[in-house]
Amino acid sequence: MECIRAGWALIKEKYWLFFGICVLGMIIASAGPFGVLMGPMMCGIYYCLFREMRGQPVKFDMLFKGFEYFIQSLIAALIMMIPMVVILVPAYIAMFVAMISSLPKPQPGQPAQPPNPADLTMFVIAMALFIILAMVVQLVIGVLCFFTFPLIIDRKMKGVDALKLSYRAAKANFGGLLGLVLLDMLFSFIGVLACYVGAFFVIPIHFAANAVAYRQVFPSLDEPESRDDFGADFQALRPRD
């Protein structure tokens, strides 16, 4: 909650500017196949937030600065998708097989029969397990890869190196990051309940809170020491040479 409050304080004077930057960035990110546009857009959003933190001017077209890091952000995004593919694709196939097996086999000359209640129950259970698995995988990836795109834009790191350092930093600050990611998911879910439109209005706060959390772990290169404003969960961790 401290990160979310600090994130709101960061952007509230320019909320509608960051609203446009973040929403357009998310729309463009979702438009590209296999996440090819996700990395540049994430980098562009964090580029604007870090400029705001430093008190520098932020313009709408700065969102597209993320394309200067296209290759490294694409590499990171594709690697982040591997666990989703490896784990969720077999689970999806298993759920599809369960759905097909729950359908009654047609008999010649007989009217169509309703599904067997036991088979239908098994399908519902399989679907629920698939949804839970997808949420858990997304949560774990979200925590372990939390710092990846900010590291690429802030420290000019390569995609693979940013993923490795993000993993180390996430392990060192797992409790705080897990709480922040869960709060982000909760607020997004509440926004979805508001006819889905509400989810768009929390996106800028979500990114601003993440940028605040990042800066507590990775202080600005212009600052010799980090400020521990958010408790012991967030620890300064500088990249190794």
- Length of the chain (residues): 241
**Comparing 68 with 222, which gets the higher pLDDT?**
68
**How many Å apart are CA 155 and CA 221, to the nearest integer?**
9
Question: How many angstroms from the chain centroid is the CA of residue 58?
Answer: 23
Q: What is the pLDDT of residues 117-172, one digit of tens each?
A: 776 777 778 778 878 888 888 888 989 999 999 999 999 999 999 999 999 999 99
Domain ranges across the chain: 2-103+124-217
The number of beta carbons lying within 10 Å of the beta carbon of residue 231 is 12
Q: pLDDT tens, 174-208?
A: 888 999 999 988 888 888 787 777 788 999 999 99
Are the C-beta atoms of residues 110 and 76 closer than 8 Å to each other? no
- Per-residue pLDDT for 2 more than 70? yes
- Minimal CA–CA distance to 11: which of 234, 194, 207, 182? 207
pLDDT at 241 over 60: no
CB 19 within 8 A of CB 221: no
